[in-house]
C-alpha cells in the first residue's frame, strides 16, 4: 500500500518530465510523491520517439535548455541501466536541392554561434554516413550532439533511480488542489484521497492546462497530434536520426493544418521509427490513413530500402503545445506553492532532465542553472471570459 | 507404422510432390502448409531468434503467434503454418529478422 503521509513535494504526472522532476528533487534530498491517473509513461512520453535534439532548435531559450539537457543526458546514460537505450547517434539533416542547402547552412551558422556543433556534409559524402540514403540529395548537416533514448524506460528508470525518496501513486487522478487560508498550495485531492505537500509540480504534459485550471490559473496547453509508423525489426539500416530540412520549419510552425516531414531513425530493438506529423485536431485518436500514407511516402523517398520492408504498426500521441513553442517551467506567482513543468511540445524527452534540475533548484531555493524568465508560466494573458487573478 | 491424420479421415490426396528445406528434399502433400510438410519430415525448427539464436518453429499453428516465420523462396517472415506448400518451394532457415543483408 502506498503511504499517504506528507512529502516535501507532489509531482503530478509520471511521464519523463515528471520522472525527471522527481529524480532531481530526490537527489536534492526532498521526499517526493508522484501521482498519475494512468501508468508510468502512459501519455505523451510513451507515444514519442525519444528524441534528444539540438539540431531542430533555433538559437534562443529552448536551445539553451537543449544544450544543457544534452550534457545531463550523457551523465544519466552512465547512471541509468542500459534498458534506457541511450544512443549518441547524431542527427543528419538532409536537403534535396541547393536552396534547401543554403537554408540549412544559414541555420547551422546561427546555431554554431549558440554552441551547437554542426558539420556540413556534401551530397557525395552522404552515403558514407548513411549508405541506404536515396541518391541525388544536395547535401546535409551532421549534428553529433543529437541523441536518442527509449522514452518509457527512461521515465521508469529515472523514477527508480530516485530510490526511497520517491513514492508512486499510479491510477489516481487529481481532482482538486488543496489550499490553505492564504491560498497557498497544501497538496492535492485524488480519486483515492488527499495527499499533502507544500509544493505541487504540474508535470501533466498535454493535460497541464487542465491541472492549472484546478489551481485557478490560466496555462493554454493544447494537443498537437503526431503519428509514428513502425517497421518490422531490421538490422541497423539507418545509423543516425535522419530528417528532411523542412522538418525544422514544421516544428516552428503554429499552423493547425496537417504537416508532415520525413524523420527516420533506427532503434536498438530493431524497428525503424518513421515520423513526423503535426496537426491540431484536439484529442482525436482516430487513425488517419492519409497521415500514414504521407509518412510512408516521405520515409521511402529518403530511404528507398524501406519500401522493401513491412510497416507493422503505428501509434499516436499528443504533444503539449504552448502558443510560443516554449515550455512552462518554474514557480507560478499566481498560486504560491505551485510549479509548472509542462508544455514541452515534441521536445519533452530531451528537455526532461534540465526541466527537473530547474524545478529542483526552485524547490530548494538554489540558483537555477539558466535564466528561466522565458519559461515563466504566467506569460499568457487570460482569455477575456476568465477574470484575471 | 503410426497412423497419420490422412489415415484417420480416410483422405485420398493427389500425388505428393517435393519441396526443399535448406537444400534437403522434403515430401509434401497437396493442401499441406509448409509447416505441416516440415513437421511430417521430422523438422521442428526453421528460424533462429534475433537475440541468442535460439531455434523456433510452429507454435500456435493458426497464424497468430508469428513464431513459425520462415524464408520461403527468398522472402523472409512468411508464416509457415499458413503458407501452402507448392511444388519446388525452397524453404530456408531464417536467421533472426531475415533482413541481415540490409545491415550497414
CATH classification of the domain holding B42 = 3.10.20.440
**What is d(CA A185, CA A34) in angstroms, rounded to the nearest whole number?**
16
Runs of H (alpha helix) within chain B: 5-8, 34-40
Residue with cell 528561466: A372
Mean pLDDT (whole number) for A113-119: 98
Q: Return the H-helix or E-strand segment holding A379.
A: none
Supply the pLDDT for residue A385. 61
How many A/B residue pairs have CB atoms within 8 Å?
A: 32
How far does the CA of residue A353 sit from the closest CA of chain B (Å)? 31
Separation in Å, CA A282 to CA A153, A163, A188, A256, A372:
27, 37, 27, 10, 29
pLDDT digits (tens, 9 = 90+) for A196-214: 999 999 999 999 999 999 9
B68 in a structural domain: yes
The yes/no answer to whether this complex scores an ipTM above 0.95 is no
Task: State the average pLDDT for chain A.
Answer: 95
Q: A-chain residues within 8 Å CB-CB of B99?
A: 232, 234-235, 237, 309
pTM of full prediction above 0.80: yes
Q: Return the H-helix or E-strand segment holding A231.
A: strand A222-231
Mutate to test the interface with A, among B50, B76, B102, B103 (most CBs of A within 10 A): B102
Least CB-CB distance to A132: which of B77, B100, B104? B104
Residues in chain B: 104
B6 in a structural domain: no
pLDDT digits (tens, 9 = 90+) for A163-188: 999 999 999 999 999 999 988 999 99
B35 in a structural domain: yes
Runs of H (alpha helix) within A288-342: 289-302
Q: Is A86 helix (H, G, I), strand (E, B) or coil?
A: coil
Q: Is the pLDDT of residue A49 over 80?
A: yes
How, if at all, do strands A200-202 and A9-12 pair?
parallel
Residue with cell 513491412: A310
Strands (E), B22-95: 24-28, 47-48, 55-56, 69-72, 75-79, 90-92, 94-95
- Check CB contact under 8 Å for A235 and B97: yes
Q: How many CA atoms lie within 13 A of A221 on its CB side?
A: 29
Least CB-CB distance to A270: which of B77, B97, B104? B97
B9 in a structural domain: no
For A91-144+222-321, which CATH superfamily applies?
D-Amino Acid Oxidase, subunit A, domain 2 (3.30.9.10)
Domain boundaries defined on chain A:
1-89+145-221+322-389, 91-144+222-321
How far does the CA of residue B86 sit from the closest CA of chain A (Å)? 24
Other C-beta atoms within 10 Å of B88: how many?
10
Q: Cβ(A47)–Cβ(A182) under 8 Å?
A: no
Q: Is the pLDDT of residue A33 over 50?
A: yes
Fold (topology level) of A1-89+145-221+322-389: FAD/NAD(P)-binding domain (3.50.50)
B39 in a structural domain: yes
CB neighbour burial string for B22-46, b if at least 16 within 10 angstroms, e if fewer? eeeebebbeebbbbbbbbbeebeeb
Q: Is A193 helix (H, G, I), strand (E, B) or coil?
A: strand
The two domains A1-89+145-221+322-389 and A91-144+222-321 share their CATH topology (first three levels equal): no
Q: A-chain residues within 8 Å CB-CB of B97?
A: 232-235, 270
Supply the pLDDT for residue A267. 95
Q: Is B1 on the interface with A (CB under 8 A)?
A: no
Measured in Å, how far apart are chain A's first and last C-alpha atoms?
39
Domain that holds residue B30: 15-96
Q: How many domains does chain B have?
A: 1
Q: pLDDT category, A1, cuts 50, 70, 90?
A: very low
Q: A-chain residues within 8 Å CB-CB of B50?
A: 233, 270
Residue with cell 501521482: A35
pLDDT digits (tens, 9 = 90+) for A73-106: 999 999 999 999 999 999 999 999 999 999 999 9
**What is d(CA A332, CA A377) in angstroms, rounded to the nearest whole number?**
6
Amino acid at each position: 500500500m502506498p503511504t499517504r503521509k506528507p512529502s516535501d513535494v507532489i509531482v503530478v504526472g509520471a511521464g519523463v518530465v515528471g520522472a525527471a522532476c522527481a529524480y532531481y528533487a530526490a537527489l536534492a534530498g526532498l521526499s517526493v510523491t508522484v501521482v498519475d491517473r494512468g501508468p508510468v509513461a502512459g501519455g505523451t512520453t510513451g507515444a514519442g520517439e525519444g528524441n534528444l535534439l539540438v539540431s531542430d532548435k533555433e538559437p534562443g531559450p529552448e536551445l539553451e535548455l537543449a544544450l544543457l539537457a544534452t550534457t545531463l543526458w550523457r551523465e544519466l546514460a552512465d547512471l541509468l541501466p542500459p534498458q534506457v537505450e541511450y544512443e549518441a547517434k547524431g542527427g543528419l539533416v538532409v536537403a534535396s536541392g541547393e536552396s534547401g542547402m543554403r537554408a540549412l547552412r544559414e541555420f547551422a551558422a546561427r546555431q554554431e554561434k549558440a554552441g551547437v556543433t554542426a558539420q556540413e556534409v556534401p551530397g557525395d559524402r552522404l552515403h558514407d554516413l548513411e549508405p541506404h540514403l536515396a541518391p541525388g540529395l544536395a547535401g546535409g548537416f551532421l549534428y553529433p550532439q543529437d541523441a536518442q533514448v527509449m522514452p518509457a524506460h527512461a521515465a521508469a528508470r529515472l523514477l527508480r533511480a530516485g530510490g526511497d525518496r520517491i513514492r508512486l501513486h499510479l491510477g489516481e487522478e487529481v481532482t482538486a488542489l488543496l489550499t490553505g487560508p492564504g491560498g497557498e498550495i497544501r497538496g492535492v485531492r485524488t480519486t483515492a484521497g488527499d495527499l499533502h505537500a507544500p509544493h505541487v509540480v504540474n508535470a501533466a504534459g498535454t493535460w497541464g492546462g487542465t491541472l492549472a485550471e484546478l489551481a485557478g490559473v490560466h496555462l493554454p496547453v493544447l494537443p498537437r497530434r503526431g503519428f509514428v509508423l513502425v517497421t518490422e525489426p531490421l538490422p541497423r539500416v539507418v545509423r543516425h536520426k535522419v530528417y528532411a530540412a523542412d522538418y525544422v520549419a514544421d516544428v516552428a510552425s503554429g499552423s493547425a493544418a496537417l504537416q508532415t516531414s520525413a524523420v527516420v531513425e533506427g532503434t536498438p530493438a530493431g524497428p525503424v521509427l518513421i515520423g513526423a506529423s503535426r496537426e491540431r485536431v484536439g484529442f482525436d485518436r482516430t487513425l488517419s490513413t492519409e497521415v500514414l500514407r504521407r509518412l510512408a511516402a516521405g520515409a521511402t523517398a529518403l530511404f528507398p530500402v524501406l519500401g522493401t520492408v513491412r510497416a507493422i504498426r503505428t501509434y499516436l500521441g499528443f504533444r503539449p503545445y504552448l502558443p510560443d513553442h516554449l515550455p512552462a517551467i518554474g514557480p507560478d506567482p499566481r498560486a504560491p506553492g505551485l510549479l509548472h513543468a509542462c508544455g514541452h511540445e515534441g521536445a519533452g524527452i530531451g528537455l526532461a532532465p534540465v526541466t527537473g534540475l530547474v524545478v529542483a533548484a526552485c524547490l530548494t531555493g538554489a540558483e537555477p542553472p539558466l535564466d528561466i524568465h522565458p519559461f515563466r508560466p504566467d506569460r499568457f494573458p487570460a482569455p477575456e471570459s476568465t477574470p484575471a487573478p | 507404422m503410426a497412423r497419420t491424420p490422412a489415415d484417420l479421415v480416410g483422405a485420398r490426396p493427389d500425388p505428393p510432390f517435393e519441396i526443399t528445406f535448406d537444400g534437403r528434399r522434403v515430401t509434401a502433400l497437396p493442401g499441406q502448409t509448409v509447416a505441416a510438410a516440415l513437421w511430417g519430415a521430422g523438422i521442428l525448427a526453421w528460424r533462429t531468434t534475433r537475440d541468442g539464436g535460439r531455434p523456433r518453429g510452429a507454435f500456435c499453428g493458426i497464424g497468430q503467434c508469428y513464431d513459425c516465420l520462415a524464408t520461403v523462396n527468398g522472402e523472409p517472415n512468411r508464416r509457415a503454418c499458413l503458407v501452402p506448400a507448392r511444388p519446388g518451394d525452397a524453404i530456408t532457415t531464417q536467421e533472426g529478422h531475415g533482413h541481415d543483408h540490409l545491415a550497414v
